[in-house]
Amino acid sequence: MNLRRDVFQAIADPTRRAILLLVATQTMTAGAIAANFDTARPTVSKHLSILTECELLEQHQNGREVYYHINARKMKEVADFIEPFRNMWDDRFNKLESIMKNYKSDK
């Protein structure tokens, strides 16, 4: 359960989604990925390690270079999962709760 929650935190970040998008079509080195962003290289490395930790990305060594590619199996698992549905209702109900708390204090 915890691991799956991390996956959704991973894809909640716009930079990480952009990285997944880049790597979705081709295998890339960390340097080539970083070149697509204005963000500092260590920040991109951090994003890559988060995506690798939750198995959305896989890496393999080729000589001195580390290449990244997307883990299709994991992406599919995430796509099937119901967490975003739960989040949608949780957001809605949180809003309901805070509105009604204000309503109560207005009286």
Q: Which residues bind other proteins (CB under 8 A)?
A: 11, 14, 17-18, 20-21, 24-25, 70, 72, 75-76, 78-90, 92-93, 95-97, 99-101, 103-104
Smallest distance from the beta carbon of 64 to other proteins, in angstroms? 29
Smallest distance from the beta carbon of 2 to other proteins, in angstroms? 12
Smallest distance from the beta carbon of 32 to other proteins, in angstroms? 18
- In the bound state with other proteins, the residue whose beta carbon lies nearer, of 41 and 86, is 86
Smallest distance from the beta carbon of 83 to other proteins, in angstroms? 8
- In the bound state with other proteins, the residue whose beta carbon lies nearer, of 3 and 79, is 79
Can you say how many angstroms the Cα of residue 95 is from the centroid of all Cα atoms in its chain? 24
Exposed (0-12), middle (13-18) or buried (19+): which is 50, by Cβ within 10 Å?
middle
